[in-house]
Amino acid sequence: MAAILTKSERETLKSLYRLSRDGQDAHTGALAEVLGVSPATATTTVKRLAERGLLDHKLYRGVELTPAGRGAAIAAIRRHRIVERFLADMLGYAWNEADRLATSFEHDLPQEVEDRLYVALDRPSSCPHGFPIPAPEMAEIPTMPLLYDLGPGDVAVVAVPGDTDPEIVKFLDTLGLRPGVRVEVREKHPFDGPLVLRVDGKDRTLGEKIAHHIYVKKDAIMKETPA
């Protein structure tokens, strides 16, 4: 039976998983900053999770997920993305609103309700942001490359994190860059220069810094073939 977790515990596990996947230092200070809590609060939650065998907290080495903790973190991310899909598909919320709203009540859902939501949504493969919904008991969530990792001729489908700065989201929207949109890289200027993208039949220029906020669906990447 899966461990019963509090909201703070689930959010800590999710944040730690993301920090470790991004190659960032996973220590209580970093966790506190990401979670928006005090270092003392983060430390208390970390100790509680370590006592339950979900984290390994060692002096000078930071915090690491145990295999059980990694499984719990992935399950928590799966739940979050299913709830986001429900908010977007059934209640009509915008994709960038779904992330914020999901966190407010996802932790109170019984597992049975999560399972039924998933079926009612016709077993979606991705959240409204374009990221994969991991299968139950999945050992790892598939990674997704950044848009800026692509080269000229590559075609892919856009995914944008839910915690992206709202001003950046607005700017991307003016370019037509939203989750699920298909783009083609027309040019990539050297020395960390901008990308020129074909979006909905129009060429758009996107700077390197903003391009690092956008991910793409790996299985959708392909080379555009000449007509």
pLDDT by 10s per residue, the chain, length 227: 456 899 999 999 999 998 888 766 678 888 899 899 999 999 999 999 999 999 998 776 789 999 999 999 999 999 999 999 999 999 999 998 999 899 988 999 999 999 999 999 999 999 999 999 999 888 899 889 999 999 999 999 999 998 899 999 999 999 999 999 999 999 999 999 999 999 999 999 999 999 999 999 866 677 665 55
Matching residue, tokens 């915690």: 163
The residue out of 107, 142, 177 marking a domain boundary is 142
Q: Which range of residues forms the domain containing residue 182?
A: 147-223
Q: What are 216's strand-pairing partners? A: 158
The residue out of 80, 110, 142 marking a domain boundary is 142
Residues 71 and 133 grouped into a single domain: yes
Residues 135 and 152 grouped into a single domain: no
Residues 130 and 152 grouped into a single domain: no
DSSP string, 112-153: HHHHHHHHHTT--SB-TTS-B-PPTT-SSPPP--BGGG--TT
pLDDT at residue number 1: 41
The residue out of 119, 142, 165 marking a domain boundary is 142
pLDDT at residue number 20: 84
What's 209's domain CATH number? 2.30.30.90
Number of domains the chain is built from: 2
Look up residue 133 and give its amino acid: I
Residues 28 and 108 grouped into a single domain: yes
Q: Are 115 and 109 in contact (CB under 8 A)?
A: no
